[in-house]
Amino acid sequence: MAQNQTGKETVVPVKPPFKKPFKRPKRLRTGYEELSGYAFISPFIIGLVAFTLYPIVYSLYLSFTNYGMGGEYEWIGLANYERMFTTDDTWRQSLKVTFLYAGTAVPLRLVFALMVAVALNKIVEAVGLYRTMLYLPSVVGGSIGISIMWRQLFGNDGAFNSVLASIGLPTHSWLGDPGTAIWTLVALYGWQFGSSMLIFLAGLRNIPKTFYEASAVDGAKPWQQFFKITIPLLTPVILFNTIMQTIQGFMAFTPSFIVTNGGPMNSTLLYVLYMYRRAFEFFDMGYASAMAWVMLIIIAIFTAVIFKSSDKWVHYND
Amino acid sequence: MKKKWMFLTASVLTASLALAACGGASDTGGETTDSEGGGSGDEQIKLRMSWWGSQERHDMTFKIIEMYEKENPNIKIEPEFTGWDGYFERMAAQAAGNNLPDIMQQNFGEYLNLYASQGLLADLNEFKDSGDLDLSKVDDSIVQSGMKDDQLLGIPSGTNALTAVYNAEMLEEAGADLPTDDWTWEDFEEIAYKVHDELDTYGTRSYEAGNIFEYYLREQGFALFNEDGTALGYDDDQILTDYLTRAKQMVDDGVAPGYDVIQQIQGIEDELIVHKNAPFDLRWSNQMKTMSMAADYTFDLNVLPGDNISQGMYLKPAMLWSVSENSEHKEEAVKFINFFTNTKEVFDTIGSDRGVPINNEIREEMRADLDEIETKIYDYIDKVTENSSPIDTNFPAQSSEILTELNTIDERVMYGQITPEEGAAEFRKSAEMILGN
């Protein structure tokens, strides 16, 4: 409903923007129209086929071979998969580490992102500045530089220990202790909450203010508003973020490669890092391809489960 | 609303799945770098050359490349260099893409044999016959170390040996004996403990399991692998148990640092001995130059301890120069390797960073103006040349993985997760499995 300056309602001529019947402009048919259409999308099609479809199919084929690196190789059926599931202790360890990592780092990041988004949503002044500052870690987050910084930060003589020492707390070898090394990586993942935060923020902006006003009139406390209004109305965004982050968590590589290189005692050996080692350190390409496929299936299962469960807890406001 | 979110979620999901699969697939696709290979004939030829090393080595190698390009204006060498970490992974990616550099710094042992097994390296024998590669002033035994199955796959860049490098000042300050040419492991430990007690530093850096255990085996008359590289070269697990027990005792007593400390060392310039946090380090002689430049004093070099030192000690090619099989300019690549091997100016620049020169004449000429640490390195290599046994060449293609396994087990023993006995047994089990026995 439109209003003019004085606040008095005026009748605006209703003009449905999309109801007008579409009329193709008169033009000579040249027969090249379809062709030019394909030409326009060809960069995507070629990219998809050459860099995505072909490698995917090829890696599936390789996973049934003992392909090393160049040289001869042969079809060995399911032997790679059999070895993975029966004898490879390191594979089992990497899977365990990855589940622990994804299982803790993803919720940590989501909770953190949501908390910051809610706080940001309340800020009125200079919101752009805060948003940029909080998003910054995610922009640089996946980079080698941050991982190297993290290694320094949690090193034996690192900043974290210095702070602990200065307030009289005992220091610890965070990266050297197999019990704590993984948590430094979890913290790194949680710290890079920027992109989830922005999506949460967009979702929060979508919640009509009237709900809060109405509930405030009825005497709802802020925390009641949070759990009864904000969370339910945000569930589609939560679902989206959860799936995104779960996939990212399973595929994490850089932190364990740079910060700890899988150590100590393989306590931070993420799945993708082990896959990389098999492929590029031990020239075990067929096996690494098989590992990639197993990871694909694991991610697909997790995503399907989250999707399936969404009927139970996601509310669509329509 | 529902539709919008469902659509967004579904589309992102599809994209991510595609990415996930792609992540795996890229192992096989390899990484394609932009190498056009250069023109043909006598025109400008581009050679790609890769090596690993410290910043010192990078700088010195640039100078040598410059020198070569000045003499050969039609050659343009494109350097690709990294630290040791990640070097072979990078090479592996290029190997997968059939895109190895023309000139490649190779490592003796597990890596050379792995690359040989995949047919990735060119046989340089024909160039030796054609005269492009002059090895007439190189001892046969040294040329041999670059051969595998009668193929000449690598030219040693220089000669190297394991050494017990030490800080004489610290030993004297602690009132400990200096090492001798016939010291035992007990003598070594006694000195290390004494320094630890007196100076409140570490007594030694902890051992790098791959190299030192191999020496430990050789010194007792065994080898890491049997003659045809199909199994371990020793039958009694007690040897590894002893080795691990010795190493662990020192770590437990605080005489040698644990993995939590070792892990934090960033590059050889940052080693404990450089900062006088330990008087001993067991490592390769060619690293002494860079390390002593980082330190404010000069090290001394001694043979490793043991009961049969000359049986255990061996000369090793510090690294090898190889030409990749996929190179389109093998002849030009070989000519550069020939230049590197047989030009005194090269070694005036690089010193002993890639080992002591293998060309006998150059080695003698070099002696005239060596600095203090280089003189020590040359003298040390001379000493080892006379008191050593041939290097073991029987590394199977899987040895890289087996050595990784040895390091993992060493780590687990040092952390106290398993006992030395369990570690020794587990290593055998893993090694046999990797070798497919």
Chain A residues within an 8 Å CB radius of B404: 277, 281-282
| Residue A10: predicted pLDDT | 53
pLDDT band at residue A24 under the 50/70/90 scheme: low
Chain B: closest CA distance from residue A305 (Å): 13
Q: Do A264 and B263 touch (CB under 8 A)?
A: yes
Q: Do B93 and A283 touch (CB under 8 A)?
A: no
pLDDT band at residue A265 under the 50/70/90 scheme: confident
pLDDT band at residue A6 under the 50/70/90 scheme: very low
Q: Beta partners for B355? A: B353
* Residue with the larger pLDDT of the pair A318 and B403: B403
Q: Which ipTM score applies to this complex?
A: 0.76
- Closest partner residue to A264 among B25, B26, B415, by Cβ? B415
Dihedral, CA of residue B139, residue B333, residue B83 and residue A290, to nearest 10: -110
Tell whether A69 is within 8 A of chain B (Cβ): yes
| Residue B42: predicted pLDDT | 61
**How many other C-beta atoms can be found within 10 angstroms of the C-beta atom of residue A40?**
9
| Residues composing chain A | 318
Q: How far apart are CA B58 and CA B49, in angstroms?
A: 12
| Residue B169: predicted pLDDT | 92
Which residue bears the tokens 């090793």?
Answer: B316
Of chain B residues 215-244, which have a CB less than 8 A from chain A?
Answer: none
Quote the tokens at residue B204. Answer: 């030694």
Q: Do A70 and B1 touch (CB under 8 A)?
A: no
Cα A250 to Cα A105, A183, A295, B315: the distances in Å are 10, 16, 8, 46
Q: Beta partners for B159? A: B317, B356
Q: Do A276 and B18 touch (CB under 8 A)?
A: no
Q: Beta partners for B45? A: B75
Tell whether A191 is within 8 A of chain B (Cβ): no
Of chain A residues 99-138, which have a CB less than 8 A from chain B?
Answer: none
Coil, helix or strand at residue B82: strand
Backbone angles phi, psi at B138, to 5 degrees: -115, 135
Chain B: closest CA distance from residue A140 (Å): 20
Q: How far apart are CA B430 and CA A107, in angstroms?
A: 37
pLDDT band at residue B33 under the 50/70/90 scheme: very low
Backbone angles phi, psi at B98, to 5 degrees: 55, 45
Residue among B208, B162, B182, B181 at smallest CA distance from B314? B162
Tell whether A263 is within 8 A of chain B (Cβ): yes
Tell whether B407 is within 8 A of chain A (Cβ): no
| Residue B39: predicted pLDDT | 40
Residue among B132, B150, B282 at smallest CA distance from B208? B282
Residue B320 has pLDDT above 60, yes or no: yes
Share of chain A above pLDDT 90, in %: 37
Tell whether B261 is within 8 A of chain A (Cβ): yes
The set of residues, in sequence order, having a beta carbon less than 8 Å from that of A129 and lying 6+ positions away, is none
Which range, A151-160, B164-173, B349-358, has the best average confidence (pLDDT)? B164-173
pLDDT in tens, B176-220: 999 999 999 999 999 999 999 999 999 999 999 989 999 999 999
Chain B: closest CA distance from residue A213 (Å): 22
Residue A69 has pLDDT above 90, yes or no: no
pLDDT in tens, A107-131: 999 999 999 998 888 877 787 888 8
Question: Is B105:B320 a contact under the CB 8 Å cutoff?
Answer: yes
Please count the CA atoms within 13 angstroms of the CA of A217 that sit on its side-chain side: 5
Question: Is B372:B293 a contact under the CB 8 Å cutoff?
Answer: no
**How many other C-beta atoms can be found within 10 angstroms of the C-beta atom of residue A219?**
7
Of chain B residues 89-108, which have a CB less than 8 A from chain A?
Answer: 89, 92-93, 95-96, 98
| Residue A170: predicted pLDDT | 87
pLDDT in tens, B323-356: 999 999 999 999 999 999 999 889 888 888 888 8
Bridge-based pairing of strands B45-52 and B103-106 is: parallel
Reported as type and span, the H/E element at residue B191 is helix B185-199
The amino acid at residue B310 is S
Q: Do A176 and B263 touch (CB under 8 A)?
A: yes
On the question of a cis peptide bond just before residue A264, with omega within 30 degrees of 0, the verdict is yes
* Residue with the larger pLDDT of the pair B17 and A175: A175
Tell whether B270 is within 8 A of chain A (Cβ): no
Q: How far apart are CA B122 and CA B102, in angstroms?
A: 10
Of chain A residues 33-52, which have a CB less than 8 A from chain B?
Answer: 51-52
Residue A93 has pLDDT above 70, yes or no: yes
Chain A: closest CA distance from residue B13 (Å): 7
Mean of pLDDT over chain A: 85
| Residue A318: predicted pLDDT | 57
pLDDT band at residue A17 under the 50/70/90 scheme: low
Chain A residues within an 8 Å CB radius of B261: 156, 173, 176
**What is the arithmetic mean of pLDDT over B263-287?**
89
Of chain B residues 120-139, which have a CB less than 8 A from chain A?
Answer: 120
**What is the arithmetic mean of pLDDT over B372-384?**
91
Tell whether B264 is within 8 A of chain A (Cβ): yes
Q: Pick the residue from chain B with its C-alpha nearest to A157.
A: B264
pLDDT in tens, A176-223: 888 899 999 999 888 888 888 989 999 998 888 888 899 989 888 888
Chain B: closest CA distance from residue A62 (Å): 8
Backbone angles phi, psi at B356, to 5 degrees: -75, 135
- Closest partner residue to A55 among B25, B261, B412, by Cβ? B25
pLDDT in tens, B76-92: 999 999 988 889 888 98
Choose from A280, A287, A315 for mutation: most chain B CBs within 10 A: A280
**What is the arithmetic mean of pLDDT over B318-324?**
93
Question: Is A290:A81 a contact under the CB 8 Å cutoff?
Answer: yes
Which residue bears the tokens 């599936």?
Answer: A60
Tell whether B16 is within 8 A of chain A (Cβ): yes
pLDDT in tens, B101-133: 999 999 988 888 888 888 899 999 999 999 899
pLDDT in tens, B218-246: 999 999 999 888 999 999 999 999 999 99
**What is the arithmetic mean of pLDDT over B406-422?**
93
pLDDT band at residue B17 under the 50/70/90 scheme: very low
Bridge-based pairing of strands B320-323 and B315-317 is: unpaired
Q: How far apart are CA A53 and CA B18, in angstroms?
A: 8
The amino acid at residue A171 is T
Residue A270 has pLDDT above 90, yes or no: yes
Sign of CA dihedral A61, A65, A69, A70: negative
| Residue B32: predicted pLDDT | 38
Of chain A residues 278-307, which have a CB less than 8 A from chain B?
Answer: 279-285, 288-289, 291-293, 295-296, 299-300, 303, 307
Cα B415 to Cα A179, B211, B253, B410, B423: the distances in Å are 11, 20, 13, 9, 12
Q: Do B92 and A281 touch (CB under 8 A)?
A: yes
Phi-psi domain of B280 (left: phi exceeds 0; alpha: psi -120 through 50; beta: other): beta
Q: Pick the residue from chain B with its C-alpha nearest to A242.
A: B9
Q: Do B21 and A237 touch (CB under 8 A)?
A: no
Reported as type and span, the H/E element at residue B284 is strand B280-284
**How many other C-beta atoms can be found within 10 angstroms of the C-beta atom of residue A150?**
22
Q: What is the distance in angstroms between the CA of the first residue and the CA of the last residue of chain A?
A: 20
- Closest partner residue to B411 among A56, A265, A292, by Cβ? A265
| Residue B54: predicted pLDDT | 86
| Residues composing chain B | 437
Coil, helix or strand at residue B395: coil
Residue B381 has pLDDT above 50, yes or no: yes
Backbone angles phi, psi at B58, to 5 degrees: -55, -50
Reported as type and span, the H/E element at residue A184 is helix A181-191
Question: Is B268:B353 a contact under the CB 8 Å cutoff?
Answer: no
- Closest partner residue to B260 among A68, A176, A285, by Cβ? A176
The amino acid at residue B35 is S
| Residue B5: predicted pLDDT | 57
Question: Is B236:A149 a contact under the CB 8 Å cutoff?
Answer: no
Residue B38 has pLDDT above 50, yes or no: no
Q: How far apart are CA A95 and CA B91, in angstroms?
A: 27
Q: Do A282 and B29 touch (CB under 8 A)?
A: no
3-state helix, strand, coil split of chain B in percent (to 5) is 50, 15, 35
The amino acid at residue B308 is N
Q: What is the distance in angstroms between the CA of the first residue and the CA of the last residue of chain B?
A: 61
Q: How far apart are CA B17 and CA B39, in angstroms?
A: 41
Q: How far apart are CA A131 and CA A270, in angstroms?
A: 31
Choose from B1, B2, B5, B272 for mutation: most chain A CBs within 10 A: B5
Coil, helix or strand at residue B323: strand
Chain A residues within an 8 Å CB radius of B18: 52, 56
Dihedral, CA of residue B10, residue B12, residue B13 and residue B16, to nearest 10: 160
pLDDT band at residue B18 under the 50/70/90 scheme: very low
Quote the tokens at residue B274. Answer: 């450089």
Q: Do A292 and B23 touch (CB under 8 A)?
A: yes
Give the pTM: 0.80
For A116-144, b where at least 16 C-beta lie within 10 A, e where not — what string?
bbbebbeeeeeeeeebeebbeebeebeee
Phi-psi domain of A194 (left: phi exceeds 0; alpha: psi -120 through 50; beta: other): alpha
Q: Pick the residue from chain B with its C-alpha nearest to A158.
A: B264
| Residue B195: predicted pLDDT | 94
Q: Where are the beta strands (DSSP E) in B303-397?
A: 315-317, 320-323
Q: How far apart are CA B84 and CA B210, in angstroms?
A: 15
pLDDT band at residue B282 under the 50/70/90 scheme: very high
